[in-house]
Amino acid sequence: MSSPSSFCGGGVRPPERKSPTASLPIRKACIPAEALIPLRQHAGEPARCLVRVGDAVAEGMPIGRAAGPLSADVHASIPGVVKELREIRLPDGELSPAVVIALEGEFARTGRARTPVDWRALSRGELLAKLEAGGVVGLDGVPAATRLRVSGRPEVLVVNGAESEPYLTCDERLMVEKAAEVLSGAAIAAAILGAGSVEVGIEANKPDALRVMAGAAVGCGCRVTALRPRYPQGEERLMVRALTGRRVPRGGRPEDAGAVVLNVGTLLAIHEAVVLDLPHIERVVTVAGEGVKRPANLKARLGTPVAALLEECGGLAGGRVIVGGAMRGFALDGLDTPLTKGMAGVLALSRRETRAASRTPCIGCGRCIAACPWGLRPVELYKWLEHGQLAEARSRGLGECTECGCCSYVCPARIPLLEGLASGRRRGAA
Amino acid sequence: MTAPGPLAPAPHLHAGTTTRGLMLSVAACLLPAGTWGVLVLGPRALAVLAVAVGASLLTELLIAGLAWKSFTLADGSALLTGLLAGFTLPVSVPLFIPAVAAAFAVAVVKMTFGGLGRNWMNPALGGRLFVTFSWPALLAVGAFPGSVSGGGWVRVPPWQLDGSLLGGSGTLGAVSTLLLALGSVYLLARRIVAWEIPLTFAAGYALTVWALAGLPAGEGLFRGDVPAALGSGGFALAAFYMATDPVTSPQGRAGRLAFGAGCGLLSFLLRAYGGRPEGPFLAVALMNLFVPLLNRLGSPTAGKG
Amino acid sequence: MSAVGIILTFTFVNNVVLGQLLGVCPILGLPRRPALRLGLMPAAAMPAAALASWAVRRLVLVPLGLESLQLIALCLVLALFVLLPDGGKAGWNLPVTNCAVLGVGLLTAGSGVLGSLVTGLAAGAGYLLAAVVFSGLRERLEMERAPRALHGLPLYLVTAGLMSMAFLAFDRVLLARLAG
Amino acid sequence: MSGDFSRSLWRENPFLIYLVGLCPALAVSTRLVNALLLGAAMLFALLGTGIVGGALERFLPPRWHLPVRLLVASALVTACDRFLSVFAPALHAGLGIYLPLLAVNCLLLGSAGRGGRPFGETALEALGMGAAFTVGLTLLALLRELLGAGTITLFPMGSFRGVLRIPGLAGQPARLLAAAPGALLALGYLSALGRWARPGRKGS
């Protein structure tokens, strides 16, 4: 293994705080008595609802059908009866229709032995169809099938095992416990893409994952590289730069540099959908933070309420509850929010951990500029947006912002730069 | 507004720095040099410093309280402004001078523009300039040497008096370049101030002094006395504490490098040709004018890439 | 005074705008964006005015013994500028109400042709310098909230005052040592 | 009409609030007497330009309005200049080029194209503007001279040399206020004061 590589310029080094969960094996969570399954667990339109109140649903049965290329199928994560259809507000503030399923009947799939499918015998179209039928969605909300259906034949598949977000260890545990399955998913994705090489990037602070993955990668054409721990190392474009040396053009996508990036959790879901015919109905989620009594990595059914996950870990001792990562996640005002495909963590952070302070005027220290991995000037963009000058902000690169939050993280005046820029981007997109 | 409520915006972690922390760190780093200065220069130095700090705090308290009904002393910037203003003044001045300098700094240079972060000129420097040009005779060069070693508790050896490292002129900020630099080492190591500005400031100043300072005296090129220039006249205070004021210096790296270099060149010009020992202060104030233009350096705009 | 001395005087030591307070209002009132272009027009008019002043004085007023009518003669020249076809559109009448332009014409009253030209150029450069620096600061001021009564012109004046104060660093001692 | 007069004198004082025509005035506002003299000259020039220029404008196409005003103003200002140089050479020297510069003052040229109105209206407007200019300039000069030199300079009369020295201030005045930066700073704060004191601001 060579010395850790990384992106240059910008980024921050937040405390890792991964130790409470990094060495704990993934635990199976209890099946919830009631699952609340949003029909929008992806970037695009909500899936079209296929069930009505009173319908009996089996485990893994589709309950929502994709409505467009950025939309994906949604499946019943538990067997039971559709109790209610309602509209809920997701943590990011978007509204989504959701299906409430009351647990009932027997588990048709769980615990039954499965014969693995020989995916090498399948055509590219059949593989993609399996991914669509399984409702596999990447961490950024783009369905895996859509991501892999790119034109222009990328040469490299980049496997994102960086996990640079503090607290989160679910990817790390997956790589330690399910390295073969993850690499099988990578092989499937590479086959669909026609990509010649597979590059796995893992931050150097996960020695176990690096060792296991490197061992599993022997002989399957993958290269495992250690990355310098630095947030946001997991950003797609930075991963591509660090692992392949290819520069993604400003404001462009990894595909523009001939690479496709997929997260290890997504690869596991690809493996399960293709080889085991299992739809995307459960995921591993890190439950951590000082407000959680017994932090853990749980393998839980989608639709499990956050409250149940916290309960499973000894209950909530207080603090700010966040879903997702500590840098990019969303704070919750209620604990009935369900687990979704993209939710890697449930964190309860104490005041000591968040180090919150009151806002003061900007003193122009330039820390946000130094921290921005894209070389933007967050403070200037923020001020233009504050004055309603959206066009001016866009001409200064607002479109290149990936909302990583480094600027807000370092701002001594505690200006909500990320919030300002993100809302400006939403206004710009509308 | 951003109180840690249930719906606080991301990110939910923070590096932990606060504006007040930054201001107080800088103020604390002035302490060694200030203490030494008081020991060398005597109680008069303490009086100048106390009047400057008092006037600064009082002005900020009055304006923020009466006009905006807010309490802003807690951010520590008024304290720092008062300290810096006191450091720049010869201790021999009548005590109304530090009061006027600090009050002008806070009221005109800072609060007029809306308070902390909105001013474009370094307040302490603005105050220093106001008294320099208003009462030139009281702040003249001649006022420096007479006060040295008068009434201090510590006797500086005579060979140190002309210079620099431990005991120089009769200004708190010029008594010890060494201790000021020591304080700034901490600030630089903790990344509290930008390293780019002191670097190019010192480099630009030293190079021009070395190359050109011999010319006015007819000694030819490359004969300048660099250690004497770096070790006196408030260069250290200007380079490490004034030019690095985040509010009134550029934000990007390219802008900062250019800003420091400009400060260095102007310092030399004003010091060697203008006959002003406070050249570095004037140079920083002049460069403050160019900060908005320097901020355009290296700024990402449309059409790039 | 040497040419270097004249240039230093009018650009820095006694900057037309910041030292002699000529042309303050056009600079305070400059629109934000094309500061350079709008500053260029009066700056270019200054050497022209200096030359015109010299020519009128030398060729008309002195031979006729009418030196005291210099102001009227200069205004006549300015009036001709305005009357040029499309004067308003091309912005020719802009320099007319700019006292810095007329001021340079008046200030060069005692100089020869070369002195007038150098003075005009230096004054123009000084004007441009002040205009560009001020437009930068003004853009910054507009991004920030200031106390209501001070917002706008009063703040610009205080800004110009602090600029002018910083320019006092370029003093006569400096001028004497640099220009000999 | 008298309402117009008082409005332009204080509430809408063009000098203080809109800062119209300030350039030539700023530099000489170092002494009170300069302000009074310049104010008087301005009043005279405003009246003359308003009446003569207004009368001529009736017979001329619009593009001639500005040049004609300019010439009329320069003639009147030259007259003032000559008059002062003959009768009060010392005071004249104090004004320097700033008296002739009144010719291109925005206050004088700003009324170009507004000719053809009744004589009384034109005269009253000119009086109001001139008075406003004088009041504003006097305030500025008083402030700067008091703080920047510690004196008040008036016309010399008999044994009185024309200069009042203010005890306490005259010893160590803040000389910066007498220099160029002082003019800009003082005017800035005076105009802020003018805006702040403007009652209501509903008329504008």
Per-residue pLDDT, C30: 61
Q: Does the structure show a pLDDT above 90 at D197?
A: no
Per CB-CB distance under 8 Å, the chain B contacts of D185 are 108
Tell me the C-alpha distance between A330 and B12, whole Å: 8
Q: Mean per-residue pLDDT for C94-109?
A: 77
Give tens-digit pLDDT for A401-416: 999 999 999 999 999 9
Q: Mean per-residue pLDDT for D105-129?
A: 78
Per CB-CB distance under 8 Å, the chain A contacts of B304 are 250
Q: Does the structure show a pLDDT above 80 at B173?
A: no
Q: Does the structure show a pLDDT above 80 at B33?
A: yes
What does the domain layout of chain D look like in residue ranges?
Answer: 2-141
Of the listed ranges B264-278, B280-294, C115-129, D181-195, the one predicted with least confidence: B264-278
What does each C-alpha distance from A292 to A30, A346, B38 come to in angstroms? 17, 9, 53
Give tens-digit pLDDT for A132-185: 999 999 988 899 999 998 877 888 999 999 999 999 999 999 999 999 999 999
Q: How confident is the model at residue B304 (pLDDT cuts 50, 70, 90)?
A: very low
pLDDT top residue among B72 and B162: B72
Helix (H, G, I), strand (E, B), or coil: what is residue A169? Answer: coil
**Nearest CA to C131 among C17, C13, C33, C20?**
C17
Q: Which domains does chain A have, with CATH numbers?
A: 19-23+118-275 (3.40.50.11540), 31-109+279-352 (3.10.20.600), 367-429 (no CATH)
Q: Does the structure show a pLDDT above 50 at B146?
A: no
Q: How far is B135 from chain D (nearest CA, A)?
A: 6
Q: Does the structure show a pLDDT above 70 at D18?
A: no
For the question of an ipTM over 0.90, the answer is: no
Using an 8 Å Cβ cutoff, are A52 and A82 in contact?
A: yes
What does the domain layout of chain B look like in residue ranges?
Answer: 18-157, 193-295
The reported pTM is 0.89
Interface of D with C in 99-118 (CB under 8 A): 100-101, 103-106, 109
In this complex, the residue of B114, B274, B290 whose CB is nearest that of residue C171 is B274
Per-residue pLDDT, A1: 40
Of the listed ranges A34-43, A354-363, C29-38, the one predicted with least confidence: C29-38
Of the listed ranges A19-33, A246-260, B268-282, B289-303, the one predicted with least confidence: B289-303
Q: Does the structure show a pLDDT above 80 at B149?
A: no
pLDDT top residue among B47 and A2: B47
Kindly state the DSSP code that residue A252 receives in the 8-state scheme.
Answer: -
Per-residue pLDDT, C67: 79
> How many inter-chain contacts (B to D, CB under 8 Å) are there?
18
Per-residue pLDDT, B148: 46
B interface test, pick of A165, A363, A396 with most B CB neighbours within 10 Å: A363
Q: How confident is the model at residue B147 (pLDDT cuts 50, 70, 90)?
A: very low
Per-residue pLDDT, B302: 44
Q: How confident is the model at residue D203 (pLDDT cuts 50, 70, 90)?
A: very low
Per-residue pLDDT, B154: 64
Q: Does the structure show a pLDDT above 80 at A50?
A: yes
Per-residue pLDDT, B5: 41
Tell me the C-alpha distance between A390 and B291, whole Å: 24
pLDDT above 70 as % of chain B = 86
**Chain D residue closest in CA terms to C15:** D180
Q: Does the structure show a pLDDT above 60 at B6?
A: no
At CA A211, angle to CA A209 and CA A212, rounded to 5? Answer: 65
**Could you tell me which chains touch chain C, where touching means 3 or more CB pairs under 8 A?**
B, D
Tell me the C-alpha distance between A140 and A168, whole Å: 16
At least 3 CB pairs under 8 A between chains A and D? no
Q: Mean per-residue pLDDT for B152-168?
A: 52
Per-residue pLDDT, B305: 34
Q: Mean per-residue pLDDT for C56-61?
A: 87
For B217, counting Cβ atoms within 10 Å of its Cβ (0-12 exposed, 13-18 middle, 19+ buried), the class is exposed
What does each C-alpha distance from C67 to A216, C100, D100 come to in angstroms? 99, 21, 14
Q: How confident is the model at residue C103 (pLDDT cuts 50, 70, 90)?
A: confident
Q: Mean per-residue pLDDT for B97-102?
A: 96
The whole-chain average pLDDT of chain B stands at: 84
Q: Mean per-residue pLDDT for C61-80?
A: 84
Contact flag B2-A330 (C-beta cutoff 8 Å): no
Per CB-CB distance under 8 Å, the chain B contacts of D179 are 133
Contact flag B289-C133 (C-beta cutoff 8 Å): yes
Tokens 């009147």 sit on residue: D76
The two structure tokens encoding residue A6: 């990384």
**Chain A residue closest in CA terms to B253:** A370
pLDDT top residue among B297 and B55: B55
Q: Mean per-residue pLDDT for B191-203?
A: 94
pLDDT above 90 as % of chain B = 53
Tell me the C-alpha distance between B34 and B49, whole Å: 9
Q: Does the structure show a pLDDT above 70 at C86?
A: no
